[in-house]
Structures are given as structure tokens and as C-alpha cells.
Amino acid sequence: MPLSIRIISSPDGESISEWHRSFPEEGGEIGRAYGSTLQLSDSSRAVSGTHAIIRKSSRGYQILDNSTNGLFINGATAPLGKGNQSTLNDGDVLDIGRYRLLVSCFIPAQASATVFDPAHSTIDALFGDDPFSLDREDESSAEPPWPEGEKSAQPEAQFSSYEPQQVLQDDPFLTQAAPARQERKAFNPSFSAIDDDPFQEPSFSVALSSSSTRTPSHSSSEPAYALTEFKNSEERQLQQMEKAMEMALARLLSELSPDTLENMFNDLSAPSFFARKPKYWDMYKRYFNRQLQNRDWQIKFHAYFQDSLRIQRNLAGEE
């Protein structure tokens, strides 16, 4: 099987009758036309009738671009070009329309195996290029830098010269920890049993004393400040509510004024030549009873009050 092509990606909605196609020894065609070696169905007609032609030559398989929309090899941004050809290699990916094809053109006749030579089968020949073998030979053949007697005596001379005092004499923590310990004992001689208590440190006691002296002043001023802020806020809210009630009541009284009601009653009673003068008092009594039953005035006052209160709060926020 010298040449085979597999479909690895296809357009949606297209029926694929054969996902893997083995080509003849001499090659074949790829396209939409019936009778192609690898027929690709394409309703969008992006694939040409004979999109690509594959032929075998002395250099291997050659592919010829015979398409209108282009043949793309291995994700190239530019097509191969109509009439141009290129060599096919094993593992090449062909983009034809919305199809993606994987090429397999492994030729067993071109593959050569390594001939085993008994003359080079020794261990020395196999490891002749080992870079570490030279190092091992050099190490084994090199003379020691000192005689054997000195080699065994030198470590003993080095370790015998060390003493515990010399080992600890360069410890920076040893020289600093001892005076600190003595100073702490000298500071509090009467309480030697609790000498390691961290709360007995001078810095900690000073911090506690300073914080304890500052806390009463802060705690004593905080409630007073909060109470003052609460009183000021309550006074501002009362002032805003009073002004809002005045504004709402003024709007409601303007609607109940005689001029407003008279104009409204005149509009309701259309004047005519034979009509008598409207009885405003009777009309007002009916209007008043209707307003009480429907709670129109209460609803209007509540709406006017909320609107006025919002205006007062916005003015206070701008200030």
C-alpha cells in the first residue's frame, strides 16, 4: 500500500462514503467529480471536479494543483497554484475546500535496514564513542597527587586539630544570646522562676502601659462623638420632613383653591344659551364626597410628601 489518504476533517452535513482511500501505484485524482479516486462530496462547490492530480515519478509522488479555489499544503496561507506541482511526503496535510486530508506515502522499497557487521560487535567498538570512557581511563591511569602515606595521614591531622571551643567560637548567636539572657535576669531578679515569660519583657510592658493610657481617652470621646452625630442627623431629618410636609400641603391646597375648582367646574358644565347658572356649591359637595370615598386627597398628599422629601434630601446631599 504505497499511497493512502485519510479524511480527518469534513464539512458539516456532507455524507462521507469512504474515510480512508488507498491509491493505485501510479497515483490518482482527488475531486468532486464522479469517478475520482477520492471523491469528495461538496454542496458548496468549493471543491473542483478534479481538484488535485497525484502521479508517481522517479522523485516519488507529485501532486498537481488543478483547482479553482486552491490547494493548500501543510497549513500554508497561499495555495499551491493552478498548474503547479509539489512533492508529497509522508504525513503531509492537504486542505481542499473545507476538507482536511492526511497523506501516507511510505514506500517499503526505499527503506534500508542497517547491516550487522561482526567485526564491530565487540564491547570496545560499541562504546568507542562514549565520552565517559576516556575519563574513566584517564582517572585510572593518572597518578595520585600525593603519596599513599600522606593521603591517609592528612585527614587525621585535620580532624585532630579541632576542639569544641574552636568550633563554637565563630557562632554569632552564642555571643549575642548570653548577654541578653544576663540582662533579662538582672532586670527582674525577684522573679527568677518566671524569667522566660514573654509578658515580662520591658518592651511589651511599655506597649501595654501606653495602650492602656490611650484607650480611656479614645473610648470616652467616641460615645460622645457618636451621640453628637446621632443628634445632628436626627435634627436634619426632622427639618427635612417639616419642609417636605409644607411643600406637599401647599401643592394640595393649590388644587383645592376656589379658582382651580371654579375653572374645573366650568369645564365640566358646558355653557349653553338655555342653561342656567351652575350651582357651584352643590357641585363642590358632590366632588368633596367623591374625593373622600376614593381617598384621592390622601393618595395625592402621600405622593407629594415623598416627592418633596426626596428633593430635600438631594439638596442636603449637594450641600
Give percent of the chain with pLDDT exceeding 70. 60
Considering only residues 206 and 285, tell me which one the structure prediction assigns the higher pLDDT.
285
User: Which residues pair with residue 100 across a beta bridge?
Assistant: 9, 95
Is the CA virtual torsion 191, 192, 198, 200 positive or negative? positive
Considering only residues 199 and 262, tell me which one the structure prediction assigns the higher pLDDT.
262
Report d(CA 176, CA 235) in Å as an integer. 65
What is the residue extent of each domain of the chain?
3-108, 232-318
Q: Are strands 3-9 and 71-73 parallel, antiparallel or unpaired?
A: unpaired
Report d(CA 151, CA 143) in Å as an integer. 13
Helix (H, G, I), strand (E, B) or coil at 319: coil
Say which range, 15-29, 94-108, 208-222, has the weakest mean pLDDT. 208-222
Considering only residues 212 and 31, tell me which one the structure prediction assigns the higher pLDDT.
31
Residue 73's pLDDT is 93
pLDDT tens digits along 290-313: 888 888 888 889 888 998 988 888
Q: Model pTM?
A: 0.36
What is the separation of C-alpha 19 from the centre of its chain, rounded to a whole number of angstroms?
Answer: 40
DSSP state letter for 198: G
Residue 122's pLDDT is 47
Q: Are strands 99-104 and 93-96 parallel, antiparallel or unpaired?
A: antiparallel
pLDDT category at 163 given cuts 50, 70, 90 is: low
**Contact status, residue 63 vs residue 42, Cβ threshold 8 Å:** no
Average pLDDT, the chain: 73
Residue 1's pLDDT is 47
> Which are the contacts of 72, defined by CB distance < 8 A and separation ≥ 6?
78, 79, 80, 94, 95, 96
Considering only residues 110 and 101, tell me which one the structure prediction assigns the higher pLDDT.
101
Mean pLDDT of 21-41: 91
pLDDT category at 191 given cuts 50, 70, 90 is: very low
Residue 153's pLDDT is 47
Considering only residues 242 and 127, tell me which one the structure prediction assigns the higher pLDDT.
242
Mean pLDDT of 91-105: 91
Fold of 3-108: Tumour Suppressor Smad4 (2.60.200)
pLDDT category at 117 given cuts 50, 70, 90 is: low
